Amino acid sequence: MFGEPLRQHKAVTVRDDPVRRLRAQLPEAAFPATARTLPTVLLVLFLGLAGTTFLLLDDREGHEVPAAFVDAQREVASSTAKSVGATASQRVTDLRMAALDRSEPGPLLDALARDRKWRGAAVLAGPARSLVAAKGEAVPAQAVPADATDATVTSTVAANGEPVLVVGAPLPDGRLLVATTAVRLPDAAQDETLRQAFVLTTLSGKVLASSGAQWWNADPKTAALVSDAGRAAAGTPGVLLGTPTGERQPTLGYARVTPPSAPGGLDLAVVAAAEGPLAHRGAAGSGLLPAVALAVLAVIGYVVVTRAVTRPVLAARADLLRLAAGDLDTDIRPARTGEAARIVAAAQLCQDRLTGGEGNTEPVAGRRFTARVAAGLVAATVFAWSGYVLVAYRTKDVDIPPVLVGTARVQTDKATDALRRSLNNGLSDLEALAAQAKDPATLRSAFERLMVGQTRYRSLYLVDRGGAPGDPVGRPPLRTTAPPATGAGLHQQDQSGRVPVIFAEVPLAERGGALVGEFDLDHLRSLLDQVPGHARVVDRDLRTVHATDGFVAFEEVTKKDVRDTVELARDGQVVGTIRAGRDGPVILASAAVRGGAAGRLGWTVVTEQPGSELALPENLVRKNAQLVALVAALIALFGYGWLLFTVLGPLRRIARAADRLVAGDFDAVIYPQRHDEIGTIASCLEICRQAVTQGPGRLGEVRRPRGAATDPTQLLKPVVQPDRRPARATRPPRRRGPEPTRAGRA
């Protein structure tokens, strides 16, 4: 039955089909066909990537506001809302410091009235909030939460329609100090190209105040869009786009005012309105050529891998299955690739030996086109395509719209103003403590409350007349020991260390010594982070004090463009310009820190935004090109590695085993190492080898060796127990199977 060809038995059942019965015994029966499915999977992946390439690189015709400008307006709105929120938090700190005074309500309210930032103040008593004393404008006490146990801030609208903040702080005797202060928006830059405006609204969309250009109020649609932006600010910051007019489109960024002292936020929102330019996106169809090229390479690669790997493997597997099942008349087809040709030569040798021939098959010699070379060439073409895409879509000459330069000026000015206010407010906090805290216990308690309320400090402590620090609140001091200054001020310690030391110092006239508050560098960096790109602070000697990226403290700025920009900013103007950089154009902006004690430090904020990092159409296309090139290279790399590990490597090992058979070595066992087509080929070669050495009776039967391939073969003799029973009770001995031979293990 095993000697007849399978093709002559077309009507046999599956159970009587020797080839199918043999396949059921092979390890391939429980696992998918790798050599057949892998090229198809790679083809589908590359065709899908080709379609994605067309969509990502197809820069279609059209006009729209650049994403860089949209992102900038959202950041401007967020930074302005943070500025308003920081002012609210500072007012909470100011009132908390004022509440430390244990004097009578009259002197306390008089002191607040003399401070022009407060519009009105009152002292309330009991749960009913009965009025004890008041000064200035009427205070809406009902705006303060009834369950407030610490200083708090809320917002409301005064009778004249102006927005006000209502700040409350508990007094030591259980009463409540309440004061109101106005909410002011920062001034908008006067830029005719940008036409920046800031609008303060409630979360219900009611407009409360504005600054800057009033173009948004002249158009009813844009005015309604401002109200919509105020209502949308209840969620996360975002941007709304208006109806285009000519070559410009209203762009409204919005953000809610959420001061650190009120995590729930206030009923206020900031809308940053500007007119964005409608930029020309480019020519349609720019992604068609690389997409078509990748699709063609995918199809060609599929054909090459199929003909060089899949078809030879499947053909050799089918022929070996018939031969191992007993069809000695099967026609073993030749193969063109090297590994399959060597396996076919071994199969032909076994067939010749089993049919009574001499078995003089010659080894496969000479250079042949191998399956590994074919797969490597296909992977190399994909790598070449990735390199072409990277080169073709690289760009250095970025056309930066002028409005982005104006936006950079606005953002740099906002960051500089936030830095100035934080430093000046820190000094004001210490001055308030020095005026009100009389004994060390009260002073330390005030330090702890101030550290909790403000994140600008890293350490607060008292120094004696010689400058030696006392027990600090916060982290250990970095300030070197030196006698305190004669007047209050901000100081920068000149040193060559890695960490700049910036601190506020207020002398204590009565007891000697001084209050010192060191500023946290992480807090200062968070203020600079409001500007995208790289921002740094330089002192009057053009040394780097702080930066958002890695920097060396007190390293001198050597770039001529940056030095020129700083010199222009020191003349009192916010500078914004485009300069040539190593990797393309760069937006340089700078603003000097002016006003109060911070202005006497001589600091200047400088920001750099490389044009290649802006969200412009050409940069987006370039980044998309880098993405698809990387994905294609990864698919080729992992696809080739997968093919090498699951098909090509095992196929090469089987080819070496076939070479040993052709060389006449029929004693070495061929072990299947894969549960797929390659494992089937190995099993069938092993069956043929056993049939050559032990007879054709081994065909059609799988005898799997046990143990490892490196274990020595041992011949074990059967152990016969002596029969101690009477002769009449003896039974005929059982028929034992054949003894194991060196060709396999028992």
Average pLDDT over residues 397-417: 88
- To the nearest 10 degrees (0 to 180), the angle between helices 440-453 and 67-99 is 160
> In 3-state terms, what secondary structure has residue 315?
helix
Q: What is the pLDDT of residue 10?
A: 38
Q: Is the pLDDT of residue 707 over 60?
A: no
Q: Is the pLDDT of residue 723 over 80?
A: no
Q: Is the pLDDT of residue 718 over 70?
A: no
Q: How confident is the model at residue 241 (pLDDT cuts 50, 70, 90)?
A: very high
Q: For residue 22, which phi and psi values (nearest 5 degrees)?
A: -70, -40
Cα 371 versus chain centre, distance: 39
Query: Which of these, 531, 502, 692, lies nearest to 597 by C-alpha position?
Result: 502
DSSP 653-666: HHHHHHHHHHTT--
Start-end of H helices in 533-584:
560-569
Q: How confident is the model at residue 303 (pLDDT cuts 50, 70, 90)?
A: very high
- Which residues, 6 or more positions from 14, have their beta carbon under 8 angstroms from its beta carbon? 20
Q: How confident is the model at residue 719 (pLDDT cuts 50, 70, 90)?
A: low
Q: What is the pLDDT of residue 389?
A: 93
Strand partners, 200: 209, 270
Q: How far is CA 448 from CA 244, 452, 473, 572, in A?
A: 53, 6, 7, 38
Average pLDDT over residues 206-231: 90
Q: What is the pLDDT of residue 31?
A: 47
Residue 699 · residue 25 · CB < 8 Å: no
Q: Is the pLDDT of residue 115 over 90?
A: no
Average pLDDT over residues 269-275: 93
Most confident by average pLDDT, 137-146, 335-344, 412-421: 412-421
Q: What is the pLDDT of residue 378?
A: 92
Strand partners, 462: 515
Residue 282: burial class (beta carbons within 10 Å; 0-12, 13-18, 19+): middle
Q: Map tokens 């007190």 to a residue.
A: 554
- Asked which of 419-433, 549-563, 643-657, 668-682 is least confident by mean pLDDT, the reply is 668-682
Q: What is the pLDDT of residue 379?
A: 93
Residue 93 · residue 304 · CB < 8 Å: no
Average pLDDT over residues 558-574: 88
- Which residues, 6 or more positions from 97, have their beta carbon under 8 angstroms from its beta carbon? 429, 432, 433, 436, 446, 450
> In 3-state terms, what secondary structure has residue 234?
coil
Q: Using a pLDDT cut of 90, give the percent of the chain over it.
A: 25
Average pLDDT over residues 306-320: 85
Looking at per-residue confidence, does 121 or 20 come out higher?
Answer: 121
Q: How confident is the model at residue 422 (pLDDT cuts 50, 70, 90)?
A: very high
Looking at per-residue confidence, does 76 or 691 come out higher?
Answer: 76
Strand partners, 240: 252
- Six token digits for residue 149: 């146990």
Residues of the chain with CATH 3.30.450.20: 402-615
Q: Using a pLDDT cut of 70, give the percent of the chain over it.
A: 84
402-615 carries CATH number 3.30.450.20:
yes
Q: What is the pLDDT of residue 270?
A: 95
Q: How far is CA 679 from CA 26, 421, 666, in A?
A: 8, 75, 19
Q: Is the pLDDT of residue 367 over 90?
A: no
Q: How confident is the model at residue 710 (pLDDT cuts 50, 70, 90)?
A: low
Average pLDDT over residues 453-478: 89
One-letter amino acid of 109: L
| Digit-coded pLDDT (tens) for 149-161 | 778 888 888 888 8
Q: What distance in Å separates the CA atoms of residue 336 and residue 342, rounded to the nearest whole number?
A: 10
Query: Which of these, 21, 100, 67, 22, lies nearest to 687 by C-alpha position?
Result: 22
Q: What is the pLDDT of residue 322?
A: 84
| Digit-coded pLDDT (tens) for 658-699 | 888 888 888 888 877 777 778 888 888 888 888 888 877 777
* Helix (H), strand (E) at residue 711: none
Q: What is the pLDDT of residue 715?
A: 55
Q: What is the pLDDT of residue 175?
A: 85
How many CB atoms within 10 Å of residue 2? 17
Q: For residue 88, which phi and psi values (nearest 5 degrees)?
A: -65, -40
Q: What is the pLDDT of residue 726?
A: 53
Q: Is the pLDDT of residue 11 over 50?
A: no
Average pLDDT over residues 435-455: 79
| Digit-coded pLDDT (tens) for 368-403 | 678 888 889 999 999 999 999 999 888 767 888 888
Q: Is the pLDDT of residue 183 over 80?
A: yes
Average pLDDT over residues 239-265: 88
Q: What is the pLDDT of residue 263?
A: 73
Looking at per-residue confidence, does 365 or 227 come out higher?
Answer: 227
Question: CA-based diameter of the chain, in Å?
Answer: 130
Looking at per-residue confidence, does 444 or 359 come out higher?
Answer: 444
> In 3-state terms, what secondary structure has residue 183?
coil
Average pLDDT over residues 229-246: 91
Average pLDDT over residues 595-600: 90
Beta strands 163-170; 176-182: pairing state: antiparallel
One-letter amino acid of 448: E
One-letter amino acid of 609: Q
DSSP 321-366: HHHHTT-TT--PPP-SSHHHHHHHHHHHHHHHHHTT----PPPP-S
Q: What distance in Å separates the CA atoms of residue 425 and residue 90, rounded to the nearest whole number?
A: 7
DSSP-derived letter for residue 543 is B
Compute, in degrees rounded to 10, the torsion defined by CA atoms 409, 410, 416, 418. Answer: -170
Query: Which of these, 711, 685, 712, lies nearest to 699 by C-alpha position?
Result: 685
- Which residues, 6 or more positions from 522, have their beta carbon under 8 angstroms from its beta carbon? none
Query: Which of these, 28, 37, 690, 661, lies nearest to 344 by C-alpha position?
Result: 661
Q: What distance in Å separates the CA atoms of residue 744 and residue 746, rounded to the nearest whole number?
A: 7
| Digit-coded pLDDT (tens) for 335-357 | 878 888 888 888 888 888 888 76
* Helix (H), strand (E) at residue 502: strand 501-507
Average pLDDT, the chain: 82
Query: Which of these, 706, 665, 709, 668, lies nearest to 686 by C-alpha position?
Result: 668
The rounded radius of gyration (Å) of the Cα atoms in the chain is 42
| Digit-coded pLDDT (tens) for 22-51 | 666 665 544 456 677 888 899 999 999 999
Residue 574 · residue 589 · CB < 8 Å: yes
DSSP-derived letter for residue 644 is I
| Digit-coded pLDDT (tens) for 576-596 | 898 887 778 889 999 999 988
pTM exceeding the 0.75 threshold for the entire prediction: no
Q: What is the pLDDT of residue 729?
A: 46
Q: What is the pLDDT of residue 114?
A: 85
Residue 175 · residue 102 · CB < 8 Å: no
Q: What distance in Å separates the CA atoms of residue 644 and residue 35, rounded to the nearest whole number?
A: 11
| Digit-coded pLDDT (tens) for 486-523 | 888 999 887 666 788 999 999 987 777 889 999 999 99
Q: What distance in Å separates the CA atoms of residue 693 and residue 743, rounded to the nearest whole number?
A: 8
Q: How confident is the model at residue 3 (pLDDT cuts 50, 70, 90)?
A: very low
Residue 391: burial class (beta carbons within 10 Å; 0-12, 13-18, 19+): exposed
Looking at per-residue confidence, does 568 or 31 come out higher?
Answer: 568
Q: What is the pLDDT of residue 24?
A: 64
> In 3-state terms, what secondary structure has residue 544?
strand
Q: What is the pLDDT of residue 743?
A: 39
